[in-house]
Amino acid sequence: MLAVDRDPAAPGFRYADTRAVISTEDEPAIDRLARAQRIDGVISPGADWTVGIAARLAERLGLPHPIDGATAVLATSKSRQRERFATAGIAQPRLLDEPRVPCVVKAPDRQGQRGLTLVLHERDLPAAVATARAASRNGTFIAEEYVPGPEVTVNAVSLDGGFHPLTVTDRLTAEPPAFGVALAHAWPARLSVETTQALVGAARSAAEAVGIRNGPTYTQIRVGTEGPRVVELAARLGGGHDAELCELATGVRLNDLALDFALGRKVSVVPTQSLVGGACVLFLVAPEGELRAVEGVEEAHDVEGVAEVRIYRAPGWRFGPLLRGADRAGAILATGESRDDALERARRAAGAIRFVVE
C-alpha cells in the first residue's frame, strides 16, 4: 500500500508499505506518482477535497472507483450540494443572504471544522467571516441559519443505487472545547425509532440528490424542532474513526468495503446487527506547547471496554491554540452495555492519559 501526506509524521504512514511526503491536495504530483507506481486503485478516506482528486485520477488512469469526477465535484462543494438539495426538496439549514446571529459561518470548499464558526453575538461576525474567507480556497464564505438541536451522523454504503444505513451516531461537542476531551461520536443515537428512520430517509435522499450510487457516505444532520435538516454529505468514510466505530457496533468492516470499491472487487453489504449495547469514539486534546511525552496509555488500555487507544503525535510535535476540530492529539474507542456506559469508560480512560508539554 502506498500512502501520501505532506506531514512526514502522519499517523497513517505506519500502516503503509511505501510512503511519499506529498500534499494530498497536490494533484499533479499524486498523478505522476500513481503512474510511476502503477497503482491498482485510489482512495481518499476522511477528507473531502481529495475525494475529487481520487475520482479524477481514477478516470484518467482507467481505474475502478465508486464515483466519477462529476459526482465528486458535487460531493466536495457545499454550495453545489445545497443547490441539489433544494432542487430535490431536501430540508436543510437556510442560506442567509447576509449573516445574522445566530448563524453558522463556514468556508464552502473545506471539510470538517476548517473555517467554521458558530456565531452567537454580532460582535463576533467579522472575525467569523474573516476566518471562513482565510480557510476557503476561493476566498468566499457562506452563512446559514443555526438549527438548534442534536447533531447526528448517518454512515452508510450505497451499492448499485441501493442505500444501506450502517450506524446513526450522536456528535457530542464541548462548546467551547475544553482541554482533555473536545468531541465524541456515540452510538446508538439517543433518538426515537421514528426520528432515526426519518434521519436515514434524509441521508438516503441526500445521496440520491448528489448522484451517489456506489460507495460510502457520511451525512451530517441537525435534528431541529421541524424535523431533520441535512447539513452536508461526504462521499467518503468519516474522518472521526467512524469506520472503526461501525465495526465495533455492528461488525461491518467499513474500511474493507471502501477498499473493495476502490479496487473493483465484488462488494456485498450484509444486514447489520448490534454486537454491543453501545460504542463511542472520544477525541483527546493536549494543552498548547511542545509535546515531551504521553503518559498513562497502558492504564487507559486496561480500562474495561476500551477497544483501542490511539495517540496521533510523537514527542517534538507542537500543539497550537485550541480550535474546533484542530490539534486532536488522539482518540479512545470503547464499548459498553449502553452508549452512556461506553462514554463513561472512554472518559475514565481519557482521565488516565497525560500529555506532557513544554
Half-sphere exposure (CA, 13 Å, Cβ side) for 89? 1
- What is the pLDDT confidence band of residue 11, given thresholds at 50, 70 and 90? confident
Contact, 234 vs 48, CB < 8 A? yes
- What is the pLDDT confidence band of residue 117, given thresholds at 50, 70 and 90? confident
Angle ∠(155,184,305) on CA atoms, nearest 5:
95
Given this model, what pLDDT does residue 164 score? 96
E strands, 50-197, are 103-106, 117-119, 142-145, 151-159, 162-173, 180-187
pLDDT tens, 176-222?
444 445 689 999 999 999 999 999 999 999 999 999 999 999 999 99
**What value does the mean pLDDT of the chain take?**
90
Q: How far apart are CA 231 and CA 183, in angstroms?
A: 18
Top pLDDT among 310 and 77 is at 310
- What is the pLDDT confidence band of residue 99, given thresholds at 50, 70 and 90? confident
Cell, residue 178: 475544553
- 3-state secondary structure (DSSP) of residue 106: strand
Q: Which helix (H) or strand (E) holds 20?
A: strand 18-20
Topology of domain 151-357, CATH: D-amino Acid Aminotransferase; Chain A, domain 1 (3.30.470)
Q: Taking the domains of the chain in order of start, what are their residue ranges?
A: 2-75, 94-145, 151-357
CATH superfamily of 94-145: ATP-grasp fold, A domain (3.30.1490.20)
pLDDT tens, 297-335?
999 999 999 999 999 888 988 887 655 445 689 999 999
pLDDT tens, 21-67?
999 989 999 999 999 999 999 998 878 889 999 999 999 999 999 99
Instruction: Give the Cβ contact number of residue 89 at 10 Å.
Output: 8
Q: Which helix (H) or strand (E) holds 87?
A: helix 78-88
Phi/psi for 209 (5° steps) reads -65, -35
Task: Measure CA of the first residue to CA of the last residue in the chain; give whole Å.
Answer: 36
Range 278-301 average pLDDT: 94
Residue 195, classified by CB atoms within 10 Å of its CB into exposed (0-12), middle (13-18) or buried (19+), is middle
Residue 65 CA from chain centroid, whole number: 20
Distances (CA, A) of 210 to 69, 85, 136, 177, 243: 12, 8, 22, 32, 22
pLDDT tens, 146-181?
999 899 999 999 999 999 999 999 998 764 444 445
Given this model, what pLDDT does residue 37 score? 94
State what percent of residues in the chain have pLDDT above 90: 65
* Cis peptide bond prior to 321, omega within 30° of 0: no
